[in-house]
Homo-oligomer: A and B are copies of this chain.
Amino acid sequence: MSNVSSLATLARTASRALSALSASAKDEAIEAIARALLSHSDAIANANRLDMDDAEQAGLAAPLKKRLLYDASKIQNSVVGLRSLALLPDPVGRTLMSTEMDEGLLLYRVTCPIGVIGVIFESRPDALVQIAALCLKAGNAVLLKGGSEASRTNRILSDIIAEASLSAGIPAGWIALLSSRAEVDEMLRLDESIDLIIPRGSNAFVQHIMRNSSIPVLGHADGVCHVYVNEEADPSMALRIAVDSKVQYVAVCNAAETILIDRSIATNFLPALANALAAKNVVLHGDDEARAIFPMETVDDWHKEYLDYEVSVHIVAGKDEAIDHINRYGSGHTDTIITENKDIAERFLREVDSGSVMWNCSTRFSDGYKYGFGAEVGISTAKIHARGPVGLDGLVTYKYKLYGKGQIVEDYASGKRTFTHRPIPDEGKS
């Protein structure tokens, strides 16, 4: 058996034991990991310094180096994150539905861990700590592969997490670190032992993962988010929201990349918008009609995700053309409409086929923490399982548990007994 395959088998075995752990056992292990990070803070920072030195010599770009850095202050952030995660309710064992099928024949739909999760992320070492702890909280085993630039930092972090959790009573093998691209490719083929893949990183990277695995993938390749300024918008509100959606933080997936404006208001609204964005150093790209109203660059591709101080502008005939444009060129991530007309807003919210659809607020709100989930596993643009910002409940699934007293189906088939199908009152199973 290959290395990856044997790690996956160990992880599968560990996951069975994880599924039986109490909430407090998992939370104590998360606290033990937090304490271990603090007590090994110097060793972690030293390992990270070696990675940073290599990055320096390799001429890594400044933003990448910033992401790679994992110093005492970032360790402290991770510890704060771990401790707030420990305080969240256990996502496992929640009863989602219950039915008395007959007297003494009780059906429950109950959340349970998914099993073994494969996580692939780029440079940020804090992602390793966060995702490992999220998996543990949800009772899942995890195979991790981080960016090679962070190999020393990732190695010491995963060793510390494995050791601290083992001391806290978590079964060995629940966490493992892969070390090469070849191992990732092998993991993507292990559809018998890996239940879910979570890729975190650039567009091209995530697309590669999505196309090369028959294992379900939780994530998003890109965030081509739209602000649609309807003719019935309050212009000053539209300006504030468009500017915030674009510039509040340009490098993230929920930043706006395209602004759609109704033709009937474009002559007045577009120059005001262009000036407001120019004041924030945003370069505008427009279609011919927009460029006839205000001088700006051309648009190469309506699918473009700038992730920078640039934005595309498109003039539309009205709500239908706006909705069509978004469904055609968007990425199903986050789209907002600005209008005072409730009917038009409801139509937009219903027909735009995205994980988060908004009315009169900024696209930048679509985020697990801002949504109040207390944690964010990622943002999913898939249509099924978990969609939009994903909290801890994206790391669990459910099973049906049926409690009987000897019932057989023949008694119902013969008419000797009949189903009652009554909801079970809230006190749950006895």
Give bound CA distance, A387 to B115, whole Å.
14
Q: Which residues of B contact A385 (CB under 8 A)?
A: 384-385
Q: Are A248 and B413 in contact (CB under 8 A)?
A: yes
Most buried by B among A323, A356, A358: A358
Give bound CA distance, A412 to B409, whole Å.
57
User: How close is A377's CB to chain B, nearest CB, in angstroms?
Assistant: 13
Give bound CA distance, A399 to B362, whole Å.
17
Segment at the B interface, from A166-174, A178-186, A343-351: A343-351
A384 with B196: in contact, given A244-B410, A361-B404 (CB under 8 Å)? yes
Q: Are B234 and A371 in contact (CB under 8 A)?
A: no
Give bound CA distance, A240 to B411, whole Å.
11
Query: Quick one: which of B240, B243, B387, B404 contacts A399, CB cutoff 8 A?
Result: B387
Q: Which residues of B contact A382 (CB under 8 A)?
A: 216
Q: Are A383 and B240 in contact (CB under 8 A)?
A: no
Give bound CA distance, A405 to B365, whole Å.
13
Q: Tell me the residues in window 76-128 of chain A with beta carbons closer than 8 Å to chain B beta carbons.
A: 99, 101, 105, 107, 112, 114-115
Judge if A143 is at the interface, Cβ distance under 8 Å: no
User: How close is A21's CB to chain B, nearest CB, in angstroms?
Assistant: 10
Q: Tell me the residues in window 358-395 of chain A with beta carbons closer than 8 Å to chain B beta carbons.
A: 358-362, 364-366, 370-372, 382-389
Judge if A154 is at the interface, Cβ distance under 8 Å: no
User: How close is A246's CB to chain B, nearest CB, in angstroms?
Assistant: 11
Q: Are A357 and B410 in contact (CB under 8 A)?
A: no
Judge if A400 is at the interface, Cβ distance under 8 Å: yes
Give the residue name and chain of the B residue nearest to A216 (CB).
B384
Q: Which residues of B contact A99 (CB under 8 A)?
A: 371-372
Q: Which residues of B contact A112 (CB under 8 A)?
A: 350
User: How close is A169's CB to chain B, nearest CB, in angstroms?
Assistant: 17
Q: Which residues of B contact A386 (CB under 8 A)?
A: 384
Most buried by B among A101, A195, A234, A371: A371
Judge if A214 is at the interface, Cβ distance under 8 Å: yes
Q: Which residues of B contact A240 (CB under 8 A)?
A: 406, 408
Q: Which residues of B contact A353 (CB under 8 A)?
A: 16, 115
Q: Which residues of B contact A267 (CB under 8 A)?
A: none
Q: Which residues of B contact A406 (CB under 8 A)?
A: 234, 237, 240-241, 360-361
User: How close is A404's CB to chain B, nearest CB, in angstroms?
Assistant: 3
Q: Are A402 and B361 in contact (CB under 8 A)?
A: yes
**Beta-carbon contacts of A132-166 to B below 8 Å, as 1s and 0s?**
00000000000000000000000000000000000
Judge if A329 is at the interface, Cβ distance under 8 Å: no
Judge if A199 is at the interface, Cβ distance under 8 Å: no
Q: Are B216 and A402 in contact (CB under 8 A)?
A: no
User: How close is A248's CB to chain B, nearest CB, in angstroms?
Assistant: 5
Judge if A205 is at the interface, Cβ distance under 8 Å: no
**Beta-carbon contacts of A231-242 to B below 8 Å, as 1s and 0s?**
000100100110
Q: Which residues of B contact A107 (CB under 8 A)?
A: 371-372
Q: Which residues of B contact A74 (CB under 8 A)?
A: none
Q: Are B101 and A370 in contact (CB under 8 A)?
A: yes
User: How close is A309's CB to chain B, nearest CB, in angstroms?
Assistant: 15
Give bound CA distance, A400 to B357, whole Å.
6
Q: Which residues of B contact A249 (CB under 8 A)?
A: 409
Give the residue name and chain of the B residue nearest to A17 (CB).
B351
Query: Quick one: which of B19, B234, B355, B397 contacts A351, CB cutoff 8 A?
Result: B19
Judge if A202 is at the interface, Cβ distance under 8 Å: no
User: How close is A227's CB to chain B, nearest CB, in angstroms?
Assistant: 11
Give bound CA distance, A343 to B74, whole Å.
44
Judge if A67 is at the interface, Cβ distance under 8 Å: no
Q: Are A114 and B384 in contact (CB under 8 A)?
A: yes
User: How close is A18's CB to chain B, nearest CB, in angstroms?
Assistant: 10
Give bound CA distance, A364 to B195, whole Å.
27
Give bound CA distance, A384 to B174, whole Å.
20
Q: Which 4 A-B pairs have the closest CB atoms?
A: A361-B404, A244-B408, A372-B421, A364-B409
